[in-house]
Structure 1
Amino acid sequence: MNKGLYSTNERDVCGLLKTTPEGLASVEAAGRLAEYGENVLQKKAAVPIWRKVAAQFTHTLALLLWLAGILAIFSDQISLGIACFLVVLINAAFSFWQEYRAEQAVESLAKILPRKARVLRDGEEQEIDAETLVPGDIVMLEAGNSVSADARLLEVMEMRVDNSTLTGESEPQIRRSEAIDNRQERLVDLPNFVFASTNVVTGNGKAVVYATGMATEIGKIASLTQEVKEAPSPLQIELGNVSRAIAAIAVSVGFIFFVLGYFVVHLSRTGSFVFAIGLIVANVPEGLLPTVSLALAMGTKRMTDRHSLIKKLSSVETLGSTTVICTDKTGTLTTNEMTVCELWVNGKVVHVSGAGYEPAGDFKIDGRPPTDEERDEIAELARIASFCNNSRLCAPRPPERDRWTILGDPTEAALMVLAKKAGFEYEEKLREYRRYYELPFDSRRKMMTTIHKKTGAPGNRAEGSQQVEALVKGAPQEVLSRCSAIWRPGGPKPITEEEKAEILERNDKYARRSLRVLGFAYREMGDERKHYEVDETERDMVFVGLAAMLDPPRKEIKEALARCRTAGIRVIMITGDYGVTAESIARGIGLVQGTNVRVVSGVEIDGMSEDDLEAALDEPDLIFARVSPEHKMRVALALKSRGEIVAMTGDGVNDAPAIKVADIGVAMGIVGTDVAREAADMILTDDNFASIVSAVEEGRAIYDNIRRFITYIITHNIAEVIPCLLYVMIRIPLPLLAMQMLAIDLGSDLVPALALGAEKPESDVMLRPPRSRKDRLLNKNTIARAYGFLGIIEGAAAMAAFFFVFLLDGWRPSMGISSLPKSGHVYMMATTACFAGIVITQIGNGLSCRSNRESIFKVGFFTNRFYLWGIVSEGLVLLALVYVPGLKNVFRTAHLSGYVWLFMLIGPVVIFFAEEGRKAVVRRVHGTGRDTIEMVVEAEDRKAA
């Protein structure tokens, strides 16, 4: 931007931009279009689909399975090779389907720019495509228009604009055309500019374009969004670590046993290859990735039920490791619905209940309902508030609109809600109380006046006459300075200096509470006129009262913040609002609690070094106010550099870059822009901070569940290795075949493992600190539990079933290992028993894995119905593999007698009670947690009181 534009007067601005007040000539406009390009936002090249597909086939576990499949085919094990390839294909298809989503952020930015613009060209007003706007064009703006480009205002008539897409704050801003001598504000706050993507709320004006396309403020935000590179989530990193660790173990074990098989057991080279491939397959949890993806998808569904829409599956778990939530104020911590909370009328303070735009609430004076006379006093203020007003309330109209909404200014809408609560029927009164003139609000007078004419009705103070009345609202000091009387039920009385002082003192009290305050007055005007002057109309008025309003905190916010504290999560407010207002709200909801609150403005951030910002982030009670998109990004990056897992909320275009750079970007679903929603990983469908906390709880539960089914899955891996190990060490017949291992990994175990992903959060999940980045899914405790405890029990159960078949056939240990058959029907029954023994023992293991610490008797056997269906599916798959002829041939299984089935039931019982004993020891050593959230909330309420 030419830096002189804001300080240059209206007459000379056109000269700086080499244009005239009559606009550009068409030829000149065409030349500038060629020079500056179209007024559009450039798109970033998307990652080709083929690359996204290829990535699903080239990760560590996929490459390992490709290798195993190729080696199997070269060893004439065609079925095993095809099975390995199918695993890769199914995994890739499912993962791609779950993760695939196009980058929409820049496209959404482009959609919010209007397609048409009214300009002066060749001295005439024309409507052109907004894409053809160029610097130097003169644009015409009026209420309801969207602004197509960044422009300097030349003429203004009572104009106010909604800059929320850029600033995040919905309060309409006054515009003026006069030059500014000393710029001390952000560019987007300068009153003599309008910006692309914003909207004209009231008034009209004329402006000269100085920036288009990517040179606009919204274009700069688009550039920031494009520059942000998407980093892998903690879960993606951790799954990569797990995959590499498992791959290393699998290849190492396969190689070792190939050598042992060839040189010690003296198998053929082909036999040793098949043996090694079987062990690689046994150690690769083929079902891990689809199970993780399905568990995340189920978590996504549960979060949707809790008002959180997850766009990217890996984000589900990342939420669980969140350490810092950077939250906007308006609409997230608060309702974003201005609400009148208190009135001052006739010397009395009136408390108004209810929040938001729903006109439900009542009035209390000193804790009691008002008398009939006091209700008349309230009604008089409500009458002026609703008639001196340009907004409208819109009642619910399902299914299109399920809640009360507004048209117009939020502050004026709050007054309409007040009138409804007071029983003032605006629509009925409007028919007999016509408004025919308006003196609009301006920044000099700081008030608005409407002129009304009403034919007197019985009981009205204008009975039998035509009453012309000026109704006024505005800044209390300004309104009061023009009043000579004060309203009383019996009629106006001259106002005294003491009464003025009382009113101003009350106004100051409201201001110290960061409430927005308006004063109300009226003046009887006598006969109707065609024109009214400000100075003549707004004098000798009768003061009626004050209305104080705020954007109220959400009712769930205190408990949500308390849950964050017990969970070890820090919450930082980052807002575009003023520091005083932000601090007042933060104190009211318990976000900050100390006496020394650090409020850092955007201007201060600009002057900070990285060390200074680092020091500020160490402050326990910290608020960032009046910040820009760059400031939000810088704060997010600074927090990430400290090792924090950062969640960032936002709703406007200005929030998109910071949302994108955070570990978890959270956008508002109701008031959020398309841009913010597309840049985000998660969308709050109710715009409620409490939903973020619920999502964090769900994320933590999902991480616990992933660890549960990893424990469940790798337990059978060691159970599959033990038979192979015994085959080499004591030269028994091979107890378990490679295809049977695959049947366990991708057949019988898949649904139960998935069911473990549906476990509800444990009672202490939000009483723990966030998970450390150093914590591993496959940590030493998990390895010890799965490999060193559960896996050995399960492997022993499988081998016991294997030998039990031979015992039933007449074999005895005294006959020696060499006498065991290595082929034939009995051998097939024994391998089937070993295979079935693992599957059946996994039922008991799965029950135990439902909680890491709690007894299943406390958790409940039937609290996870999905797992019960998993047991049923596991049994059906096993029976099909053992008894269905076609499957028997592929997996080389045989019928088993009832004695064998009964014997195999010992396995799940042993593993279940062994794990119950281990949990009892853990609980005795480490104790149990208890819920403290209610106590935290109660303590804060007592402190606030």
Structure 2
Amino acid sequence: MANVQQTRALAQQPITQVLAKMQTSQKGLSSSDAQKRLAKYGPNKISKNAKKSQLKVFLKNFTSLMAILLWVGGVIAIIAGMPELGIAIWAVNVINGIFSYWQEHTAQKATDSLMKMLPSYVRVYRDQKLVQINVENLVPGDVFVLQAGDAISADAMLLEANSLQVDQSALTGESVPESKQVQYAPGEGEFAEANLLYAGTSVGAGTGVAVALATGMDTEFGKIASLTQTQEQADSPLTQELNQLTRQLSILAIIIGLAFFLLAVSVVHYPWAKAFIFALGMIVAFIPEGLLPTVTLSLAQGVTRMAKKHALVKELNSVETLGETTVICSDKTGTLTQNQMTVNHIWLPFREFLVTGKGYLANGDIKFRGHPVELKQQPELQRFLEVATLDNDTRIEPPQKEGEKPKLLGTPTEAAMIVMAQKAGVLADNVEKQYPRLKELTFDSERKRMSTINRLPDGSVRICVKGSLGDTLNCCSQIMDHDGIRSITAQDLQRAQKAESDYAKAGLRTLAVAYRDVAAQDVPTDLSSWDISAVEQNLILLGQAAMADPARPEIFAAVKKCHDANIRIIMVTGDSPVVARSIAAQIKIVSNPNVRVITGTQLKTMSTQDLKAAFKEELIFARVAPEQKYKIVSTLQDMGEIVASTGDGVNDAPALKKANIGVAMGVTGTDVAKDAADMILTDDNFASIVAAIEEGRTVYNNIQKFLTYILNSNVAEAIPSVLFLLSKGAIPLPLTVMQILTIDLGTDMLPALGLGAESAEPGIMKLPPRSRQAHLLTKNVLWRAFGWYGLIGSVVSTAGYFFVNHTFGWPQVPLAASGEPYIEATTMTLAAVVFCQMANVLNCRTQNASVWNLGVFSNHKINIGIFAEFLILIVLMYVPLLQNVFQTGPLNAEEWLFLICIPIPVFFLEEFRKKLVRHYKSATSL
């Protein structure tokens, strides 16, 4: 069996020697020999990393730093004699862990259903008979048969080839199929050997017979897959940030708890045990128990919204990483373009026609100077279209159902020619019936032409030729223009070559079309005796078709959105430099149409420092090899960039794995690419990446909004305890530990979850990407939470506490530390905090924009959350069993009136502050 290094060496040897080395023959292996080889080399499949134990995956959701802190907090609460508190904290951890696991498990199931494996069956010669076997049973030495549409299941060498063209874009990124032949030729670039086939590619046209040289992980496909599997998955930025935030809040909570403990012992003279419980209440107040559930739900909602926008995220934390993206390394074919080669210009001598309409459906027209063309008035154009259709092996099956794409049976280039003719009403089936094919001279890489011989109604034959302009012109002695057929001149050659050059500069590929009619008496009786040199001579040049893979219509808006958001797009393609530069300029990825193009050959010799220097300017990459994509991504990461890398082929997998966000194509992507990626596009569309980035930014903003919201209630929970300490106990605790937990895990939770569903704030994609040094807990978040929202909530809740005590005779009567007055006062404090939070959750929906612009009640989840926290408060106040647990009681009408009046001024006060901020920013920007 040949390994991947030996495959190319084998390809240069005679077929008889190769068959001898592989211990096989033209008629393949025997069943017994194949069985022995299968046992020796293993099944023909790509091995994947062993799936993680589902138990480990499940337990991972309960062992984050925040989760561990909550486990410890629950233990402390139970030890301190508050089992209800401990159980409640643990319940939060359990619910969050199960929810996280379920979300990721659901995403993984959806991903698995998208995976496209190697072909299920292959036709091989076994025991000198052609049989169909499972692809996994294919072994080195097997001789197998290929036809158009087949996927290639092993690295192999051709034994027979008939007009064989192979789509190798999964390995090379090159959108034009490679012509294959039995004779060895090195070709240009990677995987270009004329007589070698590679696993993971597919047959575009023609037929062939090949001998398998390498299978499974020994193929080039397997080699790249193994590179992918060696990459370690690092923690996402959000995981790192949450760990950092947990440490910050834990340290803050412990410091505050310790300070309150010491003050309770020294100032209020509490017993140590009682002081510890008091301090624990402060720790509980400053630990955001609802952070994990809210972050998880926010990410899960982001995943759901992305799925609706054709982006399937495999892990929840990847959502937020998208929001940090600073660079997108994007493939070209199928991602930025439609992956549908389309003829848009027809050049005939002295005349050029514009072909309108896009795609493989004949929904366009051919125009001259802006006006539709009548073929009867354009005989040279009709001849051009008929010859291009006859000299063609590709067919297009129309969609069977509405919404489906047409099925391409052949190569994209030939399909473009067929569609071009269809748009003018020249249908392949009709032309072939009128001029039946007698013989085909297949395309090969040396002469770069394909010819067919077709019978005309009068018994003569028409030789139809298409190929590269230079190679076709060498066979032409005449030219057909609007005046008829005449001898070709030097000026004709110059015009044709200039047209080809102009098309190339515009990123278009050209295909020349020529023909010759031969009288019946001059046609050999035995067409097999008519060799290529005799057929392809004295041709009449008809013209050339200029074609391109058009940009996706939505790509222009997506690129502009990236530029507005300071996200750099770098094209990394296996296509030619000319085409890459043209497309990049056309869709405005780059501002300079003469942007620097670095080819794979140049990249090989570039040092890391030279590459980093090159990245400081606009550039694109063309003709790159698999390991070079990896080098590009890793160099950008070394420069501090957050990189999203797209791809669909095996060659993209290492870069997808290395990137901060690997984005695979769901329609055309290989199994290896999807397995390596963090996100899969179900429509293969670059615009879906941009939508996902916007969603990622929104998710991060929503987490910050949630953080602001839950922290501001902590101040309102802590200030009453500060009053207790400062008064040396003269002011009894306005809130109990269980009431504090009620706010954090009960009334605050549902409205906070609604913030996770908030839509993008206006202008979010006009801001630069967030710095890696930026944190969730910013100065702005702290100021708004503690210095503004928290201060307002503290004033209101403290006022509520003293308002109730005033109805019981305070200040003439001392503040009660127990009994009905105390229960009613603490209930009022609790209710005042909750009613403040009803306004604050609306305030937190935006950072600076007015909530009125969004619609005050447009977020239905927040509306439901507000209603739910009101119901929770009612239940706690009026259900006897819960009254005993939470030390609450009913309020009278006067006290309810006080509560109802809280949200409106709190809401409008914040709207006024936001207006001042907007005015200040507007004034300073002038």
1:412 maps to which of 414, 418, 424? 414
- State the partner residue of 1:752: 751
Aligned residue identity for 2:711: I
Where do residues 377-456 of structure 1 align in structure 2 (5 Å cutoff)?
Answer: 377-398=380-401, 401-453=403-455, 455=457
1:615 maps to which of 613, 628, 633? 613
Matched, 1:111 2:104: no
- State the partner residue of 1:717: 714
Q: Is the 8 A contact 1:767 1:929 kept in 2?
A: no
1:97 maps to which of 102, 119, 127? 102
- In the TM superposition, residue 317 of structure 1 has moved relative to its aligned partner by 1.7
Aligned residue identity for 1:178: Q
* Aligned length in residues: 913
Query: Take 1:778 and 1:692, find their aligned partners in 2: how far apart are those partners?
Result: 27
Task: Say if 1:22 and 1:686 are closer, same or farther in 2 by CA, change over 3 A.
Answer: closer
Task: Say if 1:499 and 1:61 are closer, same or farther in 2 by CA, change over 3 A.
Answer: closer
Task: Say if 1:19 and 1:108 are closer, same or farther in 2 by CA, change over 3 A.
Answer: farther
- State the partner residue of 2:767: 768
Q: Is the 8 A contact 1:105 1:679 kept in 2?
A: no
Aligned residue identity for 1:904: L
Aligned residue identity for 2:840: N
Aligned residue identity for 2:91: L
TM-score scaled by length of structure 1: 0.90
Query: Take 2:608 and 2:726, find their aligned partners in 1: how far apart are those partners?
Result: 61
- State the partner residue of 1:936: none
Q: Is the 8 A contact 1:382 1:419 kept in 2?
A: yes
Q: Is the 8 A contact 2:581 2:594 kept in 1?
A: no
Where do residues 369-384 of structure 1 align in structure 2 (5 Å cutoff)?
Answer: 369-370=372-373, 374=377, 377-384=380-387
Q: Is the 8 A contact 1:669 1:685 kept in 2?
A: yes
Aligned residue identity for 1:880: V
1:51 maps to which of 36, 50, 56? 56
Q: Is the 8 A contact 1:114 1:146 kept in 2?
A: no
- State the partner residue of 1:675: 672
Which region of structure 1 is more displaced relative to structure 2, 598-607 or 426-435?
Answer: 426-435
- State the partner residue of 1:942: none
Query: Take 1:259 and 1:49, find their aligned partners in 2: how far apart are those partners?
Result: 46
Q: Is the 8 A contact 1:391 1:412 kept in 2?
A: yes
Query: Take 1:307 and 1:37, find their aligned partners in 2: how far apart are those partners?
Result: 37
Matched, 1:239 2:242: yes
Aligned residue identity for 1:783: L
Aligned residue identity for 1:353: T
Q: Is the 8 A contact 1:286 1:745 kept in 2?
A: yes
Task: Say if 1:139 and 1:369 are closer, same or farther in 2 by CA, change over 3 A.
Answer: closer
Which region of structure 1 is more displaced relative to structure 2, 103-112 or 259-268?
Answer: 103-112
Query: Can you give the 5+ residue segments of structure 2 that lack an aligned partner in the other structure?
Result: none
Query: Take 1:706 and 1:682, find their aligned partners in 2: how far apart are those partners?
Result: 21
Which region of structure 1 is more displaced relative to structure 2, 89-98 or 345-354?
Answer: 345-354
Query: Take 2:500 and 2:594, find their aligned partners in 1: how far apart are those partners?
Result: 26
Matched, 1:645 2:642: yes
- In the TM superposition, residue 198 of structure 1 has moved relative to its aligned partner by 2.0
- State the partner residue of 1:531: 527
Query: Take 2:114 and 2:122, find their aligned partners in 1: how far apart are those partners?
Result: 17
Q: Is the 8 A contact 1:324 1:644 kept in 2?
A: yes
Matched, 1:474 2:467: yes
Query: Take 1:500 and 1:631, find their aligned partners in 2: how far apart are those partners?
Result: 40
- State the partner residue of 2:72: 67
Matched, 1:202 2:195: no
- State the partner residue of 1:783: 782
Aligned residue identity for 1:421: K
Aligned residue identity for 1:840: F
Q: Is the 8 A contact 2:321 2:661 kept in 1?
A: yes
Matched, 1:508 2:469: no
1:148 maps to which of 149, 153, 156? 153
- State the partner residue of 2:322: 319
TM-score scaled by length of structure 2: 0.92
SS of aligned partner of 2:527? coil
Where do residues 101-250 of structure 1 align in structure 2 (5 Å cutoff)?
Answer: 111-112=117-118, 114-116=120-122, 118-119=124-125, 130-180=135-185, 185-250=188-253
Q: Is the 8 A contact 1:154 1:205 kept in 2?
A: yes
Aligned residue identity for 1:642: M
Task: Say if 1:587 and 1:729 are closer, same or farther in 2 by CA, change over 3 A.
Answer: same
Q: Is the 8 A contact 1:147 1:200 kept in 2?
A: yes
Which region of structure 1 is more displaced relative to structure 2, 777-786 or 885-894?
Answer: 885-894
Aligned residue identity for 1:249: L
Matched, 1:487 2:490: no
Q: Is the 8 A contact 1:453 1:469 kept in 2?
A: yes
Cα-to-partner distance string for 1:741-794 (whole Å, 9 max, x where unaligned): 222222222222122223332332222211101111101221122112211210
Query: Take 1:41 and 1:361, find their aligned partners in 2: how far apart are those partners?
Result: 43
Cα-to-partner distance string for 1:698-717 (whole Å, 9 max, x where unaligned): 22222222111110111111
Query: Take 1:129 and 1:695, find their aligned partners in 2: how far apart are those partners?
Result: 39
- In the TM superposition, residue 687 of structure 1 has moved relative to its aligned partner by 2.0
Query: Take 2:735 and 2:117, find their aligned partners in 1: how far apart are those partners?
Result: 60
Cα-to-partner distance string for 1:285-324 (whole Å, 9 max, x where unaligned): 1111111121222222332333323232222221111100
Query: Take 2:241 and 2:493, find their aligned partners in 1: how far apart are those partners?
Result: 67
Task: Say if 1:849 and 1:27 are closer, same or farther in 2 by CA, change over 3 A.
Answer: closer
- State the partner residue of 1:938: none
Aligned residue identity for 1:735: P
What's the C-alpha RMSD, in Å, of the aligned pairs?
3.0
Aligned residue identity for 1:521: A
1:692 maps to which of 689, 693, 717? 689
Cα-to-partner distance string for 1:20-41 (whole Å, 9 max, x where unaligned): 6666677766665555444333
2:897 maps to which of 893, 902, 906? 902
Aligned residue identity for 1:42: S
Cα-to-partner distance string for 1:75-98 (whole Å, 9 max, x where unaligned): 332222221221111111111212
Q: Is the 8 A contact 1:848 1:915 kept in 2?
A: yes
Task: Say if 1:130 and 1:364 are closer, same or farther in 2 by CA, change over 3 A.
Answer: closer
- State the partner residue of 2:581: 583
Query: Take 1:130 and 1:760, find their aligned partners in 2: how far apart are those partners?
Result: 47
Query: Take 1:867 and 1:544, find their aligned partners in 2: how far apart are those partners?
Result: 69
Cα-to-partner distance string for 1:432-472 (whole Å, 9 max, x where unaligned): 443343222222332223333454xxxxxxxxx45643333
Where do residues 598-613 of structure 1 align in structure 2 (5 Å cutoff)?
Answer: 598-613=596-611
Q: Is the 8 A contact 2:476 2:539 kept in 1?
A: yes
Which region of structure 1 is more displaced relative to structure 2, 706-715 or 747-756?
Answer: 747-756
Query: Can you give the 5+ residue segments of structure 1 that lack an aligned partner in the other structure?
Result: 456-464, 932-945
- In the TM superposition, residue 142 of structure 1 has moved relative to its aligned partner by 4.3
SS of aligned partner of 2:644? strand
Q: Is the 8 A contact 2:388 2:466 kept in 1?
A: yes
- State the partner residue of 1:548: 546
Q: Is the 8 A contact 1:596 1:621 kept in 2?
A: no
SS of aligned partner of 2:58? helix
Question: How much identity, in percent, do the aligned residues show?
Answer: 44
SS of aligned partner of 1:437? strand
Aligned residue identity for 1:517: T
Query: Take 2:471 and 2:374, find their aligned partners in 1: how far apart are those partners?
Result: 31
Q: Is the 8 A contact 2:716 2:794 kept in 1?
A: yes
SS of aligned partner of 1:518? strand
- In the TM superposition, residue 483 of structure 1 has moved relative to its aligned partner by 3.5
